Amino acid sequence: MKKLLACFLAFTAVITMAFAPKRVNDPVQILDPDTVALVNDKDIRYERSDAQPQIYLQTQQGLKLKAHKHVTGNRIYIMVGIKGSRANVKVFRGSGVKKWLSQEKCDQMVVSQSSQLKPKNEKDFNQSLRKIVQGLATLVEDHYGIGHDNSSLGKQQVNKMLHPHRTSLPFALGVGIVVFGLFWFARNRKLDLDK
């Protein structure tokens, strides 16, 4: 009986994986298996929720990106254009997602990873794409009340992606204080030498 149950579970797993939704379209062949698995795993989890949000990842030749014709409902499309050593990444949202996820947030997530989105280094490129997918997935999970998994990001990581330049303000203030201190020290020293 145990063998029969084990065979049935194995058969069910194979069938489920064989008919898993194809959310990744990679004609450029730059995506690694981890990136593909991340998108597919997230979407399989989301199919069990009531809202059934969906994340798609698609690559194409050329940097000019257009909204996919199936960007409707609760779908999020991450489009990646590749031309030589340059890449363009854009997030398109369906009408159900636009209500709560602004284009500005999507763009900030891409900007936060832009320094590593260079196709010539495929490892860093895929790692940055996964970070974008993870950030968007975390926002989706928070909005729809879907439980986080191991690949979800924490609130602090998402906030850092949404506001990548917040750390530069304290740094700029620190530099300003040091410059002011040096100026004040030099001025006072000059006055002491004049006496």
In the chain, what are the domain boundaries?
A: 18-159, 165-195
CA pseudo-torsion sign 90, 45, 99, 70:
positive
The whole-number pLDDT of residue 129 equals: 92
* Distances 192 to 179, 181, 183, 184, 189 between C-alpha atoms, Å: 20, 16, 14, 12, 5
The whole-number pLDDT of residue 131 equals: 92
Strands 75-83 and 86-93: antiparallel
The whole-number pLDDT of residue 15 equals: 53
The model's pTM: 0.71
Question: Per CATH, which fold does 18-159 belong to?
Answer: Diaminopimelate Epimerase; Chain A, domain 1 (3.10.310)
Using alpha carbons only, give the angle 56, 61, 64 rounded to the nearest 5 degrees: 80
Q: Is the pLDDT of residue 6 over 80?
A: no
The whole-number pLDDT of residue 21 equals: 47
